Amino acid sequence: MFVYIQQNIRTHLTMRSKLDASKELPALAKVLTPIQTLDQAAVWASEFASWEGLWETFLKHRSYAKKNGERPSPIGAGQLWWFTHMRLRRAKGTLATVLKNEHLFSCLTHVTQGRKLPRTTSPLEGDVNAGLKHLLRNHRGLSDDHAKRAEDW
Protein backbone atom coordinates (compact mmCIF):
# COMPACT_ATOMS: atom_id res chain seq x y z
CA MET A 1 0.00 0.00 0.00
CA PHE A 2 2.74 2.42 0.96
CA VAL A 3 4.66 1.72 -2.24
CA TYR A 4 2.45 4.16 -4.13
CA ILE A 5 3.14 6.96 -1.65
CA GLN A 6 6.87 6.30 -2.03
CA GLN A 7 6.52 6.47 -5.81
CA ASN A 8 4.77 9.84 -5.52
CA ILE A 9 7.58 11.16 -3.32
CA ARG A 10 10.15 9.95 -5.88
CA THR A 11 8.19 11.70 -8.62
CA HIS A 12 8.60 15.05 -6.89
CA LEU A 13 12.21 14.69 -5.76
CA THR A 14 15.40 13.69 -7.53
CA MET A 15 17.18 10.49 -6.57
CA ARG A 16 20.48 12.28 -5.92
CA SER A 17 19.49 15.38 -4.06
CA LYS A 18 22.10 17.62 -2.51
CA LEU A 19 19.75 19.11 0.09
CA ASP A 20 19.57 17.37 3.45
CA ALA A 21 15.80 17.86 3.67
CA SER A 22 15.37 16.25 0.24
CA LYS A 23 17.43 13.26 1.36
CA GLU A 24 15.61 12.81 4.66
CA LEU A 25 12.05 12.88 3.30
CA PRO A 26 12.41 9.90 0.91
CA ALA A 27 14.21 8.01 3.68
CA LEU A 28 11.27 8.76 5.97
CA ALA A 29 8.85 7.57 3.29
CA LYS A 30 10.85 4.35 2.87
CA VAL A 31 10.29 3.56 6.55
CA LEU A 32 6.56 3.27 5.78
CA THR A 33 6.97 -0.14 4.13
CA PRO A 34 7.47 -2.32 7.24
CA ILE A 35 4.70 -0.61 9.26
CA GLN A 36 2.11 -3.21 10.29
CA THR A 37 0.46 -1.79 13.44
CA LEU A 38 -1.22 1.42 14.52
CA ASP A 39 1.47 1.91 17.18
CA GLN A 40 4.19 1.86 14.53
CA ALA A 41 2.06 4.26 12.47
CA ALA A 42 1.85 6.68 15.41
CA VAL A 43 5.64 6.59 15.82
CA TRP A 44 6.07 7.29 12.11
CA ALA A 45 3.58 10.17 12.23
CA SER A 46 5.52 11.75 15.11
CA GLU A 47 8.78 11.38 13.16
CA PHE A 48 7.16 13.09 10.18
CA ALA A 49 5.91 15.90 12.42
CA SER A 50 9.46 16.29 13.77
CA TRP A 51 10.80 16.48 10.20
CA GLU A 52 8.21 19.15 9.36
CA GLY A 53 9.17 21.16 12.43
CA LEU A 54 12.87 20.88 11.68
CA TRP A 55 12.56 22.07 8.06
CA GLU A 56 9.63 24.49 8.45
CA THR A 57 11.59 27.71 7.89
CA PHE A 58 13.65 26.12 5.11
CA LEU A 59 10.48 25.20 3.23
CA LYS A 60 9.28 28.82 3.47
CA HIS A 61 12.28 30.21 1.57
CA ARG A 62 11.20 32.42 -1.29
CA SER A 63 12.75 33.32 -4.60
CA TYR A 64 11.97 36.73 -6.05
CA ALA A 65 11.62 37.65 -9.68
CA LYS A 66 14.42 39.65 -11.25
CA LYS A 67 13.94 41.97 -14.19
CA ASN A 68 14.14 39.85 -17.33
CA GLY A 69 15.31 36.97 -15.15
CA GLU A 70 14.66 33.30 -15.68
CA ARG A 71 11.64 31.78 -13.97
CA PRO A 72 10.68 28.17 -13.30
CA SER A 73 8.16 26.89 -15.84
CA PRO A 74 5.05 26.88 -13.57
CA ILE A 75 5.65 30.49 -12.49
CA GLY A 76 3.57 33.10 -14.30
CA ALA A 77 4.99 36.26 -15.85
CA GLY A 78 3.31 38.55 -13.31
CA GLN A 79 4.28 36.55 -10.25
CA LEU A 80 6.69 38.44 -8.00
CA TRP A 81 7.86 35.54 -5.81
CA TRP A 82 7.57 31.77 -5.43
CA PHE A 83 8.71 29.16 -2.97
CA THR A 84 12.31 28.17 -3.67
CA HIS A 85 11.92 24.47 -2.85
CA MET A 86 8.67 23.80 -4.73
CA ARG A 87 9.35 20.12 -5.41
CA LEU A 88 10.22 19.40 -1.80
CA ARG A 89 7.08 21.24 -0.69
CA ARG A 90 4.99 19.10 -3.07
CA ALA A 91 6.52 15.89 -1.71
CA LYS A 92 5.90 17.02 1.86
CA GLY A 93 2.37 18.02 0.91
CA THR A 94 1.69 14.56 -0.47
CA LEU A 95 2.53 12.95 2.86
CA ALA A 96 0.89 15.67 4.95
CA THR A 97 -2.38 15.44 3.01
CA VAL A 98 -2.82 11.67 3.23
CA LEU A 99 -1.85 11.77 6.90
CA LYS A 100 -4.23 14.64 7.71
CA ASN A 101 -7.13 13.04 5.82
CA GLU A 102 -6.43 9.76 7.67
CA HIS A 103 -5.91 7.86 4.41
CA LEU A 104 -2.30 6.85 4.98
CA PHE A 105 -2.89 4.28 7.71
CA SER A 106 -6.56 3.50 7.10
CA CYS A 107 -5.68 -0.01 5.93
CA LEU A 108 -4.18 -0.82 9.34
CA THR A 109 -7.52 -0.45 11.11
CA HIS A 110 -8.84 -3.54 9.30
CA VAL A 111 -5.86 -5.81 9.98
CA THR A 112 -6.31 -8.63 12.47
CA GLN A 113 -3.53 -9.75 14.78
CA GLY A 114 -0.92 -11.97 13.20
CA ARG A 115 -1.85 -11.09 9.59
CA LYS A 116 0.61 -9.28 7.36
CA LEU A 117 -0.48 -6.64 4.88
CA PRO A 118 0.41 -6.99 1.21
CA ARG A 119 2.86 -4.32 0.10
CA THR A 120 0.89 -3.46 -3.04
CA THR A 121 -2.49 -4.16 -4.61
CA SER A 122 -0.82 -6.03 -7.49
CA PRO A 123 -2.17 -9.46 -6.44
CA LEU A 124 -5.70 -8.10 -6.90
CA GLU A 125 -4.94 -6.86 -10.37
CA GLY A 126 -3.52 -10.16 -11.63
CA ASP A 127 -5.65 -12.58 -9.67
CA VAL A 128 -9.21 -11.69 -8.78
CA ASN A 129 -9.95 -9.04 -11.39
CA ALA A 130 -7.93 -10.47 -14.29
CA GLY A 131 -10.78 -12.62 -15.62
CA LEU A 132 -13.24 -9.72 -15.57
CA LYS A 133 -10.79 -7.42 -17.30
CA HIS A 134 -10.14 -10.06 -19.95
CA LEU A 135 -13.88 -10.59 -20.52
CA LEU A 136 -14.61 -6.87 -20.89
CA ARG A 137 -11.59 -6.31 -23.11
CA ASN A 138 -12.69 -9.07 -25.48
CA HIS A 139 -16.27 -7.76 -25.56
CA ARG A 140 -15.69 -4.02 -25.78
CA GLY A 141 -18.89 -3.30 -27.69
CA LEU A 142 -21.24 -4.38 -24.89
CA SER A 143 -23.67 -1.80 -23.58
CA ASP A 144 -23.33 -0.94 -19.89
CA ASP A 145 -26.31 -3.12 -19.02
CA HIS A 146 -24.94 -6.14 -20.92
CA ALA A 147 -21.45 -5.60 -19.48
CA LYS A 148 -22.88 -5.67 -15.95
CA ARG A 149 -24.77 -8.88 -16.70
CA ALA A 150 -21.63 -10.42 -18.20
CA GLU A 151 -19.66 -9.52 -15.05
CA ASP A 152 -22.37 -11.00 -12.83
CA TRP A 153 -22.40 -14.17 -14.89
d(CA 95, CA 104): 8
Which whole number is the average pLDDT over 31-46? 89
- Work out the number of other CB atoms within 10 angstroms of the CB of residue 13: 21
The pLDDT of residue 16? 85
Q: Is 0.85 topped by the overall pTM?
A: no
Under a CB-based contact definition with an 8 Å cutoff, are residues 5 and 76 in contact?
no
The pLDDT of residue 60? 95
Mean of the per-residue pLDDT values of the chain: 84
Q: What pLDDT digit, counting tens, does each position of 47-99 carry? A: 999 999 999 999 999 999 887 778 888 888 888 899 999 999 999 999 999 99
Q: Is the pLDDT at 139 greater than 70, yes or no?
A: yes
More confident position, 140 or 108: 140
The pLDDT of residue 108? 78
The pLDDT of residue 146? 87
Q: Confidence band (pLDDT; 50, 70, 90) for 5?
A: confident
Q: Confidence band (pLDDT; 50, 70, 90) for 116?
A: low
DSSP element (H, E) containing 136: helix 130-138
Above pLDDT 70, what percent of the chain?
Answer: 87
d(CA 34, CA 40): 9
